[in-house]
Amino acid sequence: MEPWLSHPFDDDKLKEECGVFGAVNVQDAANFVALGLHALQHRGQEAGGIITHHAERGFQSAHRFGLVRDNFTSAKLMETLPGSIGIGHVRYSTAGSKGATAIRDVQPFFGEFSMGGAAIAHNGNITNADAIRRELIERGSIFQSSSDSECIIHLMARSIQKTHAERLKDALRRCEGAFSVIAMTRTKLIGVRDRLGVRPLVLGKIGDGYALASETCALDIIGAEFLREIEPGEMVVIDAKGVVSSRPFERVSPRFCIFEQVYFSRPDSIIGGRSVYETRRQIGVELAREAPVEADLVCPVPDSGTPAAIGYSQESGIPFAMGIIRNQYMGRTFIEPSEQIRNMGVRLKLNVNRALIEGKRVVLVDDSVVRGTTSQKIKQMILEAGAAEVHFRIASPPTTWPCFYGVDTPERSKLLAARMSEDEMRDYIGVDSLKFVSLDGLYRAAGALEGRDDSCPQFCDACFSGEYPVAPSDMIERGFELKAAE
């Protein structure tokens, strides 16, 4: 994606940084991997990579900037990736533009070990990567990228274990934070989740082969049968004989990222046996119960606000309407981005359905408020279209803390909710009312019918609560201050 296109609309959203996919024991595995990555494109639009292994030609790789459809649909390129096993990765960097990233930062990463080569693709963030990197460099490791994920390869290289899987266990036992990792050797596909299960990973069956993916929607695109989620703290090793599961990490209460339910995952994916779409619709139901308002229309901020807006409309009885239309074809530069064009901002992405909005009291439903800049612009567009009133309803609690587990979040001082009360945010955005779903309401919508268990929360909700299940040690070393104990 061109950097000017990511600002300001997309830049005011939290970004999931990665999607991973792997396939084994299938003909032309690279084609399956490319399709899987295409389905996971929402998890990273900056760059992608695929590594495969062929019995005669060995390991082959391709890493490219840009979208899957613009790179891995080329027959000429795909012919360079033969073999029946492969893994891939789509990436979004915190910088948000390819100019800030070298191609060597693009995963999967590959390493040659005494027992043969192996590649890894990682979704998440290692919160003690700085300390690990310093130690490894002092002991002679030479890093090629700026990615925390490369630490895993170097730790595997230093392990004295006899198999790739055991070396990967060794490496990941040193890593703190969040990781869903897919690795491959010449014959084996390996999937691992950290013990808290912060980031997702699922297992599917395709013919005589298997697939691992960040989300079930990536299994759907290749016609794979969804078997199950890889459990928190579990490792699976898959080859021609089948799937072998082990538990390399101590069992703890899982803390799956609740923002996957709110925004990151595709609405047609299944998480924890539950439809993401249904969870988002139910968030809207909870919002309507918690924050009713007299209005004429419920309109989503597309596309992420749509399921919640449908739920709000159904529960409140206020008609649902597409008051804002999203331009679906903004993925490519169509004209030279002059300053005048850049200043159009949100209007390049969204347009108000004026005939519908004029004279109406409108409830706008969005998934989150991060910096608040986009909310201001959308409100202004709605008012310019003649709306009588504008009421914002947000399908997540106020985002008051940064995430350190694989999500691109602004520093805390730039989070609107970290420095303003709800009333102050309402006045800043300039709307008639502003209400967020409560944390308990979000938990109920996600299937925890009794709400949040404060003594042992069922999800990771650090971006809302400031309660980090794993201390972000690198960030603390850099001066980040945790929430004071109450």
**Which of the residues are catalytic?**
18
Smallest CA-to-CA distance from 250 within 171, 199, 196 is with: 196
Amino acid symbol at 316: S
Contact indicator for 437, 396 with CB cutoff of 8 Å: yes
CA 399 to CA 418: how far, in whole Å? 7
SS3 content of the chain, % helix, strand, coil (to 5): 35, 25, 40
**CB-hemisphere CA count at 13 Å for 426?**
12
CA 84 to CA 404: how far, in whole Å? 35
DSSP code of 396? S
DSSP code of 380? H
Q: 122 - beta bridge partners?
A: 181
CA 267 to CA 277: how far, in whole Å? 4
Smallest CA-to-CA distance from 330 within 7, 92, 16 is with: 7
Q: Is the peptide bond before 8 cis (omega within 30 degrees of 0)?
A: yes
> Regarding beta strands 297-300 and 274-275, do their DSSP bridges make them parallel or antiparallel, or are they unpaired?
unpaired
Smallest CA-to-CA distance from 307 within 336, 276, 332 is with: 276
CA 180 to CA 13: how far, in whole Å? 22
Scanning 385-438, the segments in alpha helix (DSSP H) are 416-419, 422-429
Contact indicator for 85, 121 with CB cutoff of 8 Å: no
Looking at the chain, how many residues does it have?
486
Strands (E), 402-475: 407-408, 433-436, 459-460
